Each structure stands twice: as structure tokens, then as C-alpha cells.
A and B are shown apart, each in its own frame.
Chain A
């Protein structure tokens, strides 16, 4: 058997291609095996969020005891203590009330009706109030001017609305039934009257977090 020369040479292109592919593969492997470097902190970075907590405590009777049988002109001072017990500073302290009960004690009369509703004034003292005498031995500040109780249904800013973490506000809540005259005839109360009324008031204090900050350090 004698093979022709041309037949012998027909495999050579395939052999050449195989050699080239092999060389390329070997070269490629050398690239994938290049060096890598990693860096990390050996102690995990601690990140924690602050807290914002507002505590409301009675001082003396505070809101814990009902106010009963008041007559026009009466003033009842109750005392509460607000504390920012969170770790964040707070701003924008507000107060709002919701109330149910006798309408004439919630809003002033209109359209010829002259009844005058309950009013609330809030005053702060830099130290704790004497809840028996109403004396403040520190500095007082008016936080909320005398306001009809029914006008406080939306959040109303208090004058000094900033409360740093751990800050305490000693508040006097002055509830007043404005002086007004009513005459009762034959034992029957007038049609529009503040007499014999009752109101349940819920006081809500809100404190917002301090403004968010960006720090570089």
C-alpha cells in the first residue's frame, strides 16, 4: 500500500490549529491565576439608632383625679411632668386635645348664645412646682396662652418646644371656667347652660426627633 503524498499532508492544517488552540488555552490560564488582595475591618463597626421617648407623669393629682362641681370663675391647676427619656434630642413639642361631653364646655356659644367654654393655659417652671400652693421657685414660661379647650383639636406648638435627651418639663395645666352669669328659674336649668355639664379631655403631647444631620469624621 502506497499512500499518496497529498493524502499524507491533508492532516497538517488540523494539527496546526490544535497547537494554536493549546497555546492560547495555556496562556489564558495564566491570566485567570493572577493575584487577588482583600482588606476588611477586624472589629465590626457598631451602628445604633437613637430613641425618642416621651413620658408623661402626674405630679400631685395631675390628670389622675377628676375635676368636679366647678362654677364660673373657678380655676383648677393640675401639674404634670414631661420627660424626654430617649437618647435623641427632640424638637417641636406640641399639644392637642380631644374631648367628649357637654358642648357648651367645649366651645363658646355662638349666634346669641353667650356661654363660655373651658379654657386651658399651660405654664412651665424650670423646677418642680409646689402642687399644693402653685408656687414656682424657678423661672416660669407661658407655653400655651389661654385657649378654649375645643380649639386644641389639632397639634398646637408649645412656646419652648425643644427637649434635649433627658430634659424635663414641669407643666402647670390651668383649667378655667370663665366667669359668666346664669339664672336658674324654678330649678330648671337654662336651655343653653354650662351648669351640670361634664367633659372628658384627652391630652396628647407629641415630640419630633431633632433634625437629621450629615457628619464627616
Chain B
């Protein structure tokens, strides 16, 4: 019995040798792949990007109050559309938060000192709108939309307004196939 076992072991050993002793050839190369980002941030004047909702705090006792900010493409691809949610919160008093108008200066820039637009003022959102949308635009990488928020003349309560920006996959270019 021992002899048979030894014979089987020897056969198995020798028959397995050629495969393990065979030659093989190898070819190796590397490459890198990186992905894009799509994002818009609302940024107040002289502010840095906080990655938080943009907050405007109003203390309106008389006349009209203004706030100037920019909606900036901080991603790595141009943006065609994006969505901004508006949330108004009463900070004190009993009245409802004041109405806010969001305006864009098209073809020009805002003058903070005179509150004037050198181009054409376009109303983006008004009154009690809960959101506004930019669609069909081509906001380049690093590009900005210069915005102004304006209250009505009022002496209502203190309140704050926050803006939250949303950019989804559908808001940037479609898929592409490239060969090179």
C-alpha cells in the first residue's frame, strides 16, 4: 500500500512540474482617470465660499434694503441649469417675513453705491416665490451671475433669507463618447 501511495505521489509531482516551470510574458502600462464636479455657490460680496446656504439678514425699518451676491460655478464643467431654494424666517415680531425680489443685471454690473444696473434689470423671483431656476444658460467654469436681493419699502420685523443652491447631473452636459 505504501508503495502505491509513493508511486502516485511521485507521478503527481513530476506531472505538475512542467506547468509551474513554464515561461510567461508580461506587459504593463498605467493611466489616470479623473471625474468632474458640478456645483454652484451663492457668495456675498467679499466673502469666501462656505459651502453653506447663503444667508441674508434684514433689519428693515424704512425704505428699501439691498443685498448683492453672486452665483458662481465652482465646479469643473459648464452648467446649463440650476435651482435655488428660498427660505424666509422671521427672527422677531409677529408679522410675516417681508417679500424679497431677486434681480439680475443682464449685460452690465451692479453699482453697490448707487444701486443701479449698467445693463438691464431682469426680475428672477419675486414676492413669495419659494425658489427660482436658471435654465438654458451656459455658466462657464468659474463664471458668475451677479444678483441683487431687494426688499419692499417696509418697517416690518427682522427676518432672514437663506438661499440654497442645487445642481444635479442633468444640469450639465450630456454623456459623451470619445476615441483617442
Residues of chain A touching chain B, judged by Cβ–Cβ distance below 8 Å, are 50-56, 58, 60-80, 82, 84, 86, 88, 90, 102, 105, 118, 130-134, 175, 177, 179-189, 194-209, 212
List B contacts of A209 (CB < 8 A): 22-24
Cβ-closest 4 pairs across A and B: A73-B175, A56-B27, A187-B41, A54-B25
B177 at interface, CB cutoff 8 A: yes
Most buried by B among A75, A88, A195: A195
Residues of chain B touching chain A, judged by Cβ–Cβ distance below 8 Å, are 18, 22-42, 49-54, 74-77, 164-170, 172-180
Most buried by A among B34, B35, B39, B77: B35
The answer to whether A71 and B166 have CB atoms under 8 Å apart is no
List B contacts of A66 (CB < 8 A): 31-34
Number of A-B contacts (CB under 8 A): 193
List B contacts of A194 (CB < 8 A): 35
The answer to whether A196 and B179 have CB atoms under 8 Å apart is no
Given contacts A52-B23, A182-B168, A186-B51, contact A70 B35 (CB under 8 A): yes
The answer to whether A77 and B179 have CB atoms under 8 Å apart is yes
The answer to whether A199 and B26 have CB atoms under 8 Å apart is no
The answer to whether A187 and B35 have CB atoms under 8 Å apart is no
**17 CB-based A-B contacts, threshold 8 Å:** A65-B180, A66-B34, A69-B35, A71-B77, A71-B175, A73-B174, A73-B175, A77-B180, A131-B179, A177-B35, A181-B168, A184-B37, A197-B34, A198-B33, A204-B27, A205-B28, A207-B25
Complex Cα spacing A206 to B179, Å: 25
Complex Cα spacing A84 to B24, Å: 11
List A contacts of B31 (CB < 8 A): 63-67, 78, 200-201, 203
List A contacts of B41 (CB < 8 A): 186-187
List B contacts of A184 (CB < 8 A): 37-40, 75, 166-168
B107 to chain A, nearest CB (A): 26
Complex Cα spacing A180 to B175, Å: 11
List B contacts of A177 (CB < 8 A): 35
List A contacts of B38 (CB < 8 A): 71, 184, 195
List A contacts of B22 (CB < 8 A): 208-209, 212
